[in-house]
Amino acid sequence: MEIFISRNSEKHGPYTLDQVHTFLVSGQMQGSDQAWYEGVDDWVPLSQVPGVQLPLKTATPPPPPPQQTATITPVATVHPPSLKFGTAILITMLSVTTLVAEFVLYFFFGFGAAMTENSSSVSGIANFFVGLMVLTAVAGIGAPISSLVELAIKKKNSGVYTFLALLGLTFIFLIAVNSSKKTKLAFEAASTEDAPTTNVKNSPSGAAPNTQVEAPEGDAEETAYLSQVLLREITVGETVLNEDGVFGEIKNTGKRTLKDVELTVYALGKDGNPVWDDTFHPVADSKYAFGDAGEPLKPNYSRKFGYKVEAPSDWNKKVKVEITKVEFADESPTPPTSTQSTGASKGSTSRQSTTKINSEVSSEDEREQLLASYNKWQRAWMNQDLDTFLGFYSKDAQIKDSDGAAYGLRTLRNRRRDRWKNETGIRIEDDKEPSIDISGNRATMSVIKTYNSSLSSYTGEKNLVWKKSDGEWLITEEEFDLHEGGRKE
C-alpha cells in the first residue's frame, strides 16, 4: 500500500506502511495528518488508514523528591612561590662571586687610572664600581629575604616584587647620593668670584697660558696665595681610556707648602660660554687620593695633572681652568734663607735668597759629590738594585718620559719593578761627562746616554734636576728625550 500525506495544502509521498510507522515514532507524522491511499475517495486521518498503528504513549515519571544539598568547603590552593628559596640562595652565591670580581676590577682599573694621574678617571671608576658593588650586595642579601616574604604572606609573585623593589630603592639611593655630591660642588663653585682664565685649543703642543686668578671668598691668607699658584701647559686631548680630558701643570711659586689645591674646569661651547663644569684636586689631603695627588705641593714644586671631561656633545674642545681654592699644610711659613753678614742691624728683616756655595765647601767639592751620587745612581740602575736606585730620588720627584707621560716616585717604583722582572744585561754608557750647573742647593745635569739591555736599545738625552737635602744630593726632576732606538723585537 502506498500512502500520500497532505500537510499545509502540500502533498507528500508516497510512503510505505513501514515508513509511516517510522515517522510516527519519530514524531515527524501525527495521527491527525490527512492521508489518501488507493481505494478511498477523499482524504482521511492517518489514524484511520488500515494497517497504521499509532505509537503508545509512555507514562511520564513524577519529578524526583527534593534532596538535601551538602555544603562543600573549598580547600585553599597552595601555589609554589615564584621566587623559590633555592633560587634565592643561588642568587646570593652568584652575588658573592660577582662582588669579588668587581673588587678586583675596581683596583685594576683604579690603579691604571692612577698610573696616568688622571684624577677624574680615578673618581669616576671608584664611583661606578662602588655603586655596582652596593647593588650586587643588595641583590645577594635581598634575594633570600624576598623569598621568605613570599612564603610568609602567601601571595603569588610577592617575592619577585619585593626583590625588584629593593634593587630599585637602592638604585634611587645611589643616584641621590651622587646628586648631592654634585650639588655640594656646584654650591662651592658658585660661592667663588668669577676669574679670567685661558681657553686652549686641542693641539698636541699646548700653549702655556698667562693665567690670572681672582681670589674667591674664604680665608684671607689662603685667598691671597692663589696668585702664587700658576697654571701651565693646559691642553685638551684624550686620556688612556680614549676619553676627552684636560691636561696641564700647576706650580707653587710661593713659600708655603700646600696640602690641597682645587681646580675648576669649564668646557666651552661654540659661543665661548661654559656648557659644563666640574672641580677636582690635583693636590688632595686624603687617604683616598691616588698616586702623587696625596702628596703636598712644596714651594717651587710642580705637579702634572689630567682630568676627564664629561661635557655634552656641543662642547667645542675648549676649556677654561681656574684655581679656586688652596689649603696650607700644617706648618709655619718657610723661613727665609739669608747669607751671613757683619754689621747687620738688629731686628732688620732678611729676605729669602738663593745662597751660593759658602767658603767651607768649594764648588769643585760640590761637583765631585754630585758626580759621585750620579755614578752610584747609575750603577744601581745597571745592577737593578731597586731600593738603592730609588734612594737617590726625593719623595716628591717628578719623572717625565720621552712620550710626555709624567708620574711620581710611586709609579716609578712600580714601573721599574715590573720591567726588571723580565729584563737582564743592562748596560749604560755616557758619551761624555755630564754637563753640570750648580746654584746653591740646586743643580741641573744633562748627558747623552746609550742604553742596552735584553729588552731595549736606544740613545737619548737625560736631564736631571738635583736638590741637596741634609747633605745629600737627590733627584727632584727627571726628563728623557729619545734620539733613536727603542724596544727590541
- The pLDDT of residue 331 is 61
Rounded to an integer, what is the distance from CA 43 to the centroid of its chain?
107
Cα–Cα distance for residue pair 418/167, rounded to 1 Å: 41
Report yes or no: 358 and 283 within 8 Å, Cβ to Cβ: no
pLDDT at residue number 301: 92
Whole-model pTM: value is 0.32
Say if residue 425 is exposed, middle or buried (CB neighbours under 10 Å; 0-12, 13-18, 19+): exposed
Q: What is the largest CA-CA distance in the chain?
A: 177
pLDDT at 359: 35
Are β-strands 258-268 and 274-283 bridged in parallel, bridged antiparallel, or unpaired? antiparallel
Which pLDDT value is given to residue 476? Answer: 92
Who's near 370: CB < 8 A, 6+ residues apart?
436, 438, 443, 445, 466, 473
pLDDT at residue number 367: 86
pLDDT of residue 147: 77
pLDDT per residue, tens digit, the chain (489 aa), is 788 888 877 888 888 888 888 888 887 888 888 888 888 888 888 888 888 877 766 556 667 766 655 555 555 555 555 667 778 788 888 888 888 888 888 777 665 554 444 444 555 666 787 888 888 888 888 788 877 877 777 776 777 878 788 888 888 988 887 776 555 544 444 443 343 333 333 333 333 333 444 444 447 888 888 988 999 889 988 875 667 888 999 999 988 999 889 899 999 988 889 998 988 888 886 654 555 677 899 999 999 888 888 888 888 888 999 999 999 987 644 444 443 433 333 333 333 333 333 433 457 788 888 988 999 999 999 999 998 999 999 988 889 877 767 788 888 888 899 889 889 989 999 988 899 999 888 999 999 999 999 988 999 999 999 998 888 899 999 998 888 888 886
Q: pLDDT at position 477, please? A: 92
Q: What are phi and psi of 417, to 5 degrees?
A: -60, -45
For the chain, how many residues are written? 489
* pLDDT of the residue at 166: 83
The answer to whether 2 and 16 have CB atoms below 8 angstroms apart is yes
What is the pLDDT at residue 291?
58
Beta strand pairing call for 244-252 and 258-268 = unpaired
Contact 274, 320 (CB under 8 A): yes
